[in-house]
Structure 1
Amino acid sequence: MRLVTLPFLLTSILPSVHADVKFTSPAGGETFTGGGSIKAAWTDSGTAPSISDLTTYQLFLCAGGNDPTAFIQLASITEKGLFANGNTAEGSVAVGVGDDTPKNAYFLKMISVASTGGTVTNFSPRFSLSGMTGTFPAIVQAGAKAVSDTAGPASVNQVAGAGEVGPVGGDAASYALPFTAQTGPVRYAPMQKYPATKITAKMKTPLYPTSPYAIATTYLPILQGATTQTGVITWSFSQYENTASAPAPSDPMQQFLNRWRD
């Protein structure tokens, strides 16, 4: 078993790259020591889309089973990596984000954005973290114990033209259920909506009703919710520089500005 020292906070990792991602590191069954750096590396899997067709990615540390309802996203390693910068990334993990048992409970999740629109989500092989001081929710513990090998969850291809599939981390019905109606340690939020090009509404009505609440009069039990997973974005957008010259100030404005000339 090869041990790799791992500093305390999950930080942004330095990306580096080529199709759909196949992780070459961490290796299945590898053990890292909580409190130091962990290195991720990947190559082109040979499955569409090609890495050359991917633009940016997000990388997360996850733990649990292979079923989408049995694992949770523990922390973000990098929010916006660039495939143009290479095919490796390195970050650190805090010792309190999870447990050190069961064995091979951890894996990485990469959500990549395609230049044609949509995303593809890939998972690394499973690995262990020793010396961890946190705890897992019961559903995560059970999910991890039920896995008998080191393979991570199946990839999810939501790239435009690749066919319709369910969201990562839960089925479509989970994301459609109002947040206040959900129970359990994992809650689901719908994908962020594509912004309109114009603001036409005079009054905006909420998508969902406000959350009910009651004022506590005694000490409350420990919150059972572990995390909220948001549906991955399947749309893309482009940004362009506005090269038009600024308009000249109006006469009243010019007169006002002239007052402050030296």
Structure 2
Amino acid sequence: MRLSQALAHLALAPFAIAYPTFSAPVAAAVQKAGTAFTVTWADNGDAPSIVDLSTYTLDVCAGSTSGTDLEVVSSVSAGTALGSTLSATVTVPATKGGSVTNAYFMRMIATATAGGTVTVYSNRFSISGMTGTFPTTFTITGTAGPATVNTVADTAADSSLPVDEGVFGIPYQLQTGLTKYAPMGLMPGTSITATNTAPQYPTSSVVMATGYLSPATIATTLTQAQTASFASHANTAAPAPMPSDDMSRFLARWKD
């Protein structure tokens, strides 16, 4: 979903808060497809402090209680500066999903300035008038959303980890929307000293298509600007002589 289809209005207050907890929509609320509704969140009193969070991504999601089949239904915002006491106005088109009771919930991924993210979810709610379908059948018990995932503390505990800033610090597989962000590429050294040939990152899971796929959800990937400096100079090595083989000698016979 393009940003023009989901409007976010932010209201700032003059005091700092801890990372947010959703206060609306309330559990088991019923929203209407194609009609704007308000999403709000507020202080929950837990670390990290809001002053240590830089940006956030907000999505409307759906999925089972287990959280293993989470689907992003509508991307509201990505890489937005995180202030205090926020709210957003969201409109979900009817074709984006099915009309399943309590299938929907909000997700916010907030990025810490020092690295790491905290992902929070709202309670479950319904959206009436939805005319689309989901790729799988959801199993839903209760109205609680998925559990909070806080990696900020883990990142802070290991000072040897590189610091990713802003949207470039959000793990690629957790990003949504038409634009995704990749961290700065690693620069090669002047010599090969590594002996560990294990992959730098874990492999991605692959699910083979068994029918027609939905339109692509990624249009652009932006890579963080490189901060390394480069120098170049002319190649002073003498050029190598042209090779001499049977064909070159044969062709030389027919030169005028």
Runs of 5+ consecutive residues of structure 1 not aligned to the other structure: 1-8, 164-174, 176-190, 202-206, 208-219, 230-235, 240-262
Measured after TM superposition, the shift of residue 228 of structure 1 is 7.6
The residue number in structure 1 matching 2:5 is 10
The residue number in structure 2 matching 1:97 is 96
The two structures, once aligned, show a CA RMSD in angstroms of: 3.6
Measured after TM superposition, the shift of residue 227 of structure 1 is 8.0
The residue number in structure 2 matching 1:72 is 71
The residue number in structure 1 matching 2:83 is 84
What does 1:6-85 correspond to in 2, within 5 Å?
A: 10-16=5-11, 18-84=17-83
Structure 2 counterpart SS, 1:81: strand
The residue number in structure 2 matching 1:210 is none
Alpha-carbon distance in structure 2 between the residues aligned to 1:98 and 1:192: 26
- CA distance change for structure 1 residues 36 and 12 in 2, over 3 Å: closer, same or farther? same
Q: Deviations over 1:105-162 (max 9, x none)?
A: 0001100011221111000110000001000112xx23xxx32211000011111226
**For residue 93 of structure 1, what is the amino acid of its counterpart?**
V
Measured after TM superposition, the shift of residue 85 of structure 1 is 6.3
Maintained 8 Å contact 1:21/1:44: yes
Structure 1 counterpart SS, 2:96: coil
- CA distance change for structure 1 residues 35 and 193 in 2, over 3 Å: closer, same or farther? closer
TM-score, reference length from structure 2: 0.59
Alpha-carbon distance in structure 2 between the residues aligned to 1:193 and 1:79: 14
The residue number in structure 1 matching 2:119 is 121
Alpha-carbon distance in structure 1 between the residues aligned to 2:38 and 2:29: 12
What does 1:214-225 correspond to in 2, within 5 Å?
A: 222-223=211-212
Alpha-carbon distance in structure 2 between the residues aligned to 1:162 and 1:36: 44
Measured after TM superposition, the shift of residue 66 of structure 1 is 3.0
**Larger Cα-atom Rg:** 2
Q: Deviations over 1:28-49 (max 9, x none)?
A: 0100010111211111111211
The residue number in structure 1 matching 2:108 is 110
Alpha-carbon distance in structure 1 between the residues aligned to 2:42 and 2:87: 9
What does 1:216-235 correspond to in 2, within 5 Å?
A: 222-223=211-212
Alpha-carbon distance in structure 2 between the residues aligned to 1:162 and 1:134: 44
Alpha-carbon distance in structure 2 between the residues aligned to 1:226 and 1:71: 18
* Higher deviation after alignment, 149-158 or 80-89: 80-89
Alpha-carbon distance in structure 1 between the residues aligned to 2:157 and 2:141: 30
The residue number in structure 1 matching 2:145 is 152
Alpha-carbon distance in structure 1 between the residues aligned to 2:72 and 2:147: 15
Measured after TM superposition, the shift of residue 100 of structure 1 is 0.8
Structure 2 counterpart SS, 1:161: helix
Structure 2 counterpart SS, 1:88: strand
TM-score, reference length from structure 1: 0.58
Alpha-carbon distance in structure 2 between the residues aligned to 1:69 and 1:227: 21
Q: Deviations over 1:166-192 (max 9, x none)?
A: xxxxxxxxx7xxxxxxxxxxxxxxx96
Maintained 8 Å contact 2:21/2:120: yes
Maintained 8 Å contact 1:16/1:82: no
Measured after TM superposition, the shift of residue 16 of structure 1 is 3.2
What does 1:245-260 correspond to in 2, within 5 Å?
A: none
Maintained 8 Å contact 1:15/1:85: no
Alpha-carbon distance in structure 2 between the residues aligned to 1:136 and 1:84: 34
The residue number in structure 2 matching 1:170 is none
Are 1:161 and 2:150 counterparts? no
**For residue 5 of structure 2, what is the amino acid of its counterpart?**
L
Alpha-carbon distance in structure 2 between the residues aligned to 1:221 and 1:156: 32
Measured after TM superposition, the shift of residue 84 of structure 1 is 2.2
